[in-house]
């Protein structure tokens, strides 16, 4: 495939490709490019937001280029200050390792095992030591660092910025030096960090990388970028029904963006889907997302179960049956918060009380607004919490 044809595929839906003309020049070299993507394992899920970047990396793989996936086990301990209005808490090495163990297998749902190099940046950053870190710090000024939008905003508003946060872009940028990256991918929030990588490669005598950024996608709240710390994320290994339901809850105006960034549908197929009423378009989108990570059968099944619940208002046939624990009984009454926590429909009794107060707990067709319920009123009934969690009490 010619460099021009590759360029068209690789830059599809990109926001920036910098410097202009440089990616085409590197593609014309006629060798596999080393394409870097760094992800800090700060939580347990690979989200659809991360998958946007991973899918772009896969596009390079499919064209024969080498994907260099950096697991930021060292930088995750420091914490990326991008889009942060305050200092991110530090994570321990043990916490980061636990998160890394969860996400490594999930990467395989998007990336090919061919043309793939997985590295941990602790390989080179731990050995830098104080002397190496100080030497690295001489290559960037505080004035230039404060040009970064989020730092500039915090500085203007007198919000503290730690020296640790100022070091983060330098350490991430040094990753590009360590792996000799030809191209680095990232979301638009990573523009500054990626440009620091170019600067450091030039200092260390390397041909600077091309920077290719892709859009961030808003999470389920429809406002903020998808983030596990905000809880507005969709994880690619979440159960099919959970993924389907979360996609169906997205605001209508995000549909086109999600179709383009999270599915493999063609332009014609996207146009056909967007021509449907909003709920119909969301059904197509949700089924495609589930299909991508759980298979076609799971996508079809999730759609059928969603329609059964929310269109036909039928209870699923395969609802788990649970026995009311003795500890939840008080004579002929059941203390509902304790029951919900005991059978796994709430994380704790306090969360269960909150769900009841918010009208999120249903027995049969009735919404429950009291914490004590008669045993007779619960026996053989289906208890629903939220939209998708059911049990039948026996």
Grouped pLDDT means (10 residues each) for the chain, 394 residues:
93 96 96 96 93 98 98 90 69 90 94 96 94 92 86 87 90 97 96 96 97 96 90 94 92 96 96 94 97 96 84 61 80 83 83 84 76 77 74 74
| Whether residues 82 and 170 fall in one domain | yes
| Whether residues 23 and 134 fall in one domain | yes
| Whether residues 268 and 162 fall in one domain | no
CA dist., res. 391 & res. 308, Å (int): 16
| Whether residues 361 and 289 fall in one domain | no
227 located within any domain: no
User: What region does 17 belong to: left with phi over 0, alpha with psi -120 to 50, or beta?
Assistant: beta
CA dist., res. 41 & res. 102, Å (int): 9
Query: Is 132:178 a contact under the CB 8 Å cutoff?
Result: no
Sheet holding 183-187, edge to edge: 16-18, 210-214, 183-187, 34-39, 66-71, 116-120
27, containing H or E segment: helix 22-27
Structure tokens at 192: 């500054």
Q: Say what the pLDDT of residue 388 is.
A: 66
CA dist., res. 230 & res. 218, Å (int): 11
| Whether residues 292 and 360 fall in one domain | no
221 located within any domain: no
For 300, the 3-state DSSP assignment is helix
CA dist., res. 305 & res. 289, Å (int): 16
CA dist., res. 141 & res. 378, Å (int): 67
| Whether residues 169 and 285 fall in one domain | no
CATH label of the domain that carries residue 282? 1.10.240.10
Closest CA to 36 of 173, 235, 229: 173
Cα separation values, 54 from 60, 70, 109, 191, Å: 10, 12, 10, 17
| Whether residues 187 and 127 fall in one domain | yes
Query: Is 159:86 a contact under the CB 8 Å cutoff?
Result: yes
Report the DSSP pairing between strands 329-330 and 333-335: antiparallel
224 located within any domain: no
Q: Say what the pLDDT of residue 352 is.
A: 84
| Whether residues 209 and 140 fall in one domain | yes
Strand pairing partners for 372?
A: 335
Q: How many domains does the chain have?
A: 3
| Whether residues 53 and 149 fall in one domain | yes
| Whether residues 146 and 258 fall in one domain | no
pTM of the model: 0.80
| Whether residues 304 and 361 fall in one domain | no
For 71, the 3-state DSSP assignment is strand
Residues 6+ apart with CB under 8 A from 375: 324, 329, 332, 333, 334
208 located within any domain: yes
Last residue of a domain, one of 268, 290, 310: 310
Structure tokens at 103: 């996400």
CATH label of the domain that carries residue 191? 3.40.50.620
Q: Say what the pLDDT of residue 315 is.
A: 58
48 located within any domain: yes
Q: Which domain holds residue 333?
A: 321-393
105, containing H or E segment: helix 93-107
End-to-end alpha carbon distance in the chain:
63
Check residue 80 and report its DSSP letter: -
Query: Is 165:77 a contact under the CB 8 Å cutoff?
Result: no
């Amino acid at each position: 495939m010619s460099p021009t044809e590759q360029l068209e595929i690789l830059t599809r839906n990109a926001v920036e490709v910098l410097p202009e003309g440089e990616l085409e020049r590197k593609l014309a070299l006629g060798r596999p490019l080393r394409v870097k993507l760094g992800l800090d394992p700060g939580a347990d899920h690979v989200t659809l937001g991360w998958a946007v970047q991973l899918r772009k990396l896969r596009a390079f793989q499919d064209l024969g280029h080498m994907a260099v996936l950096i697991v930021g086990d060292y930088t995750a301990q420091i914490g990326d200050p991008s889009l942060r209005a305050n200092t991110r808490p530090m994570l321990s090495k043990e916490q980061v390792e636990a998160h890394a163990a969860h996400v490594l297998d999930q990467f395989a749902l998007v990336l090919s095992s061919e043309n793939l190099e997985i590295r941990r940046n602790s390989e080179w950053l731990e050995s830098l030591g104080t002397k190496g870190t100080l030497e690295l710090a001489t290559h960037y000024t505080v004035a230039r660092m404060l040009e970064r939008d989020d730092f500039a905003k915090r500085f203007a508003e007198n919000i503290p910025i730690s020296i640790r946060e100022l070091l983060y872009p330098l350490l991430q940028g040094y990753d590009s030096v360590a792996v000799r990256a030809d191209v680095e991918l990232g979301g638009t929030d990573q523009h500054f960090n990626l440009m620091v990588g170019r600067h450091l490669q030039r200092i260390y005598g390397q041909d600077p990388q091309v920077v290719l950024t892709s859009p961030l996608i808003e999470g389920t709240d429809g406002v903020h970028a998808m983030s596990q710390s905000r809880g507005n994320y969709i994880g690619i290994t979440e159960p099919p029904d959970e993924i389907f339901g979360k996609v169906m809850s997205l605001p209508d105006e995000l549909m086109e963006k999600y179709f383009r960034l999270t599915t493999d549908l063609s332009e014609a197929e996207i146009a056909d889907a967007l021509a449907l009423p909003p709920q119909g378009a969301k059904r197509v989108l949700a089924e495609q997302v589930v299909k991508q990570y759980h298979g076609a059968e799971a996508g079809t099944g999730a759609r059928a179960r969603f329609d059964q619940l929310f269109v036909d208002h039928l209870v699923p046939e395969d609802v788990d049956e649970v026995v009311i624990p003795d500890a939840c009984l008080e004579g002929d009454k059941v203390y509902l918060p304790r029951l919900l926590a005991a059978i796994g429909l709430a994380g704790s009794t306090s969360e269960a009380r909150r769900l009841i107060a918010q009208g999120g707990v249903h027995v049969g067709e009735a919404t429950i607004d009291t914490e004590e319920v008669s045993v007779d009123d619960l026996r053989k009934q289906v208890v629903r919490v939220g939209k998708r969690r059911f049990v039948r009490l026996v």
